[in-house]
Structure 1
């Protein structure tokens, strides 16, 4: 299932990780694990944030994929199912054909 992970990372924790060189490595490891369709990084509500869209094969993978965000960056993490335009069109077409 296509999902979007949104993480807001604690400033103090990410500052320290930048100083030690850990942030780039942690992001690279996450990208290798999830093989994202898209990934964006920026500020949201005044903190470093990321939005990553990827295919979550099984919900049991969530702890292993996301635990580093909690442990290393005190991140607030949300994961939600999302659709692209093609998925939405397919879903809307299916609604028209149902009674």
Structure 2
């Protein structure tokens, strides 16, 4: 399944890695290992961050994606399941709505 992974880097140790010239090389190694479908770098909550789409065969793959960011950068990682329009179509929202629409809402 596809997952959207948000990685938020705290100011340190990232600033120190930028200053000593290792940030880019280390990020490259991590990305080469994770092999995301896409990765974009941006700002989140005033911090440097990365947003990746990764293919996750099952939950046991999550630590291999998260741990490099945790261990090297002391980063904060968030994982969300990402659906394509086809995935949403296969969910059969009409059938789900029929099942749950008769429950009264106060």
Give the TM-score range, shorter chain.
0.7 to 0.9
User: Normalising by structure 1, what TM-score?
Assistant: 0.82
1:7-43 alpha-carbon deviations (Å, 9 max, x no partner) = 1101121111112232212221222222222211011
1:76-98 alpha-carbon deviations (Å, 9 max, x no partner) = 1111111123322332xx23356
**5+ unaligned residues in a row in structure 2: which ranges?**
99-106
Question: How many pairs does the alignment contain?
Answer: 97
Q: CA RMSD in A?
A: 1.8
Structure 2 residue 35 is matched with structure 1 residue 35: yes
Larger Rg: 2
Equivalent in the alignment of 1:15:
15
Cα distance in 2 between the residues matched to 1:58 and 1:22: 32
**5+ unaligned residues in a row in structure 1: which ranges?**
none
1:43-81 alpha-carbon deviations (Å, 9 max, x no partner) = 111000111001012322222222121122111111111
Equivalent in the alignment of 2:94:
96
User: Normalising by structure 2, what TM-score?
Assistant: 0.77
